[in-house]
Structure 1
Amino acid sequence: MDETTKAAVMSLAEELRISVARLSRRLRAQAGDDLSVTQFSALAVLERHGEMTPGELAGHERVRPPSMTRTVAALEAAHLVARRPHPTDRRQVVLAVTEAGSTLLSEHRRRKEAWLAQRVAELTDEERAVLERAVPLLERLSRS
């Protein structure tokens, strides 16, 4: 990669970082409640992947177990997560999303998607086509 291309890639990366961060903040603002990003993420992981121990959840979220303990305590206090004894290891517990937690996640997603759909509807047909082609690329970047 020559220096001109390298500079263009760095510039694009900076613009993309700023735009994605700004969009992420705007979407979080649509949630309308007091969950932190960490709490929302932990709750969503439990809903998506099913029951798991606090240690497994911490590993999934790439945080230290004491941090996850605080996150789980807050979610449990809000009745969004419930714990029950581990089926094979009496020293552990298993966490699961409650009905209230699932309802909260659904409402979050509905509000965010409605806001974003309104913004996308304001784009031209050509802009929507570009965005449609960009989504798989953004997904690939987010997974790498």
Structure 2
Amino acid sequence: MVDMAKQSASTKLSSDASEIRAAVFRLSRRLKQQRAVSDMTDGQFAVLVALKVHGPHTLSALAEREGITAPSMNRTVNCLEELGHLSRTENGDDRRKVDIQITESGRRVVEETARRRDEWLSKVLADLSPEDRQTLRSAAAIIMREVER
């Protein structure tokens, strides 16, 4: 009897996980569609956000932060640099290193994209009841707590 209860609870958790994953994935896709620059990849945008939030990085530190190889990051950085969204400057402490930093153009892309995404989500939330919005705020707090552990 105990094994059946454990199996039932495990099945329920698995089902819950699938439902939550699917909902978060669909929401993420819809939010990603709200961009300031339509031809920018998610990876390129993530680099701009990292530089805006965390400040200048070396190429290797940026690659590590984003979980990709240094050659892949170099291609991303080259593209963003050509577009004027970031720049490279000599590191003040070690002249062998180069710091990558976001430019004003890159900052505008991040801010406009965030604005568009917030605007889209605000329209969705406006159609919900206060109770549903509170439920989503609570869920957001739980998700943030768990992903930051």
TM-score, normalised via structure 2 length: 0.92
Specify the SS of the correspondent of 2:39. coil
Q: What is aligned with 1:81?
A: 86
Task: Find out whether 1:51 has 2:63 as its counterpart.
Answer: no
Q: What is aligned with 1:114?
A: 119
Task: Find out whether 1:96 has 2:101 as its counterpart.
Answer: yes
Aligned partners of 1:137, 1:94: CA distance in 2, in Å?
Answer: 35
Task: Find out whether 1:36 has 2:53 as its counterpart.
Answer: no
Q: What is aligned with 2:130?
A: 125
> Which one-letter code corresponds to 1:30 in the other structure?
Q
- 1:125 deviates by 1.7
Ranges in structure 2 where 5+ consecutive residues have no aligned partner: none
Task: Find out whether 1:5 has 2:26 as its counterpart.
Answer: no
Q: How does 1:55-74 map to 2 (within 5 A)?
A: 55-74=60-79
Ranges in structure 1 where 5+ consecutive residues have no aligned partner: none
- 1:75 deviates by 0.7
Q: What is aligned with 2:24?
A: 20
**Greater C-alpha Rg:** 2
Q: What is aligned with 1:134?
A: 139
Q: Structure 1 stretches (4+) deviating beyond 3 angstroms?
A: none
> Could you give the per-residue CA deviations for residues 85-136 of structure 1, whole angstroms, max 9, x where no partner exists?
1112222210110000001100000000000011011111221121121111
Aligned length: 144
- 1:59 deviates by 0.9
> Which one-letter code corresponds to 1:18 in the other structure?
A
> Which one-letter code corresponds to 1:110 in the other structure?
R
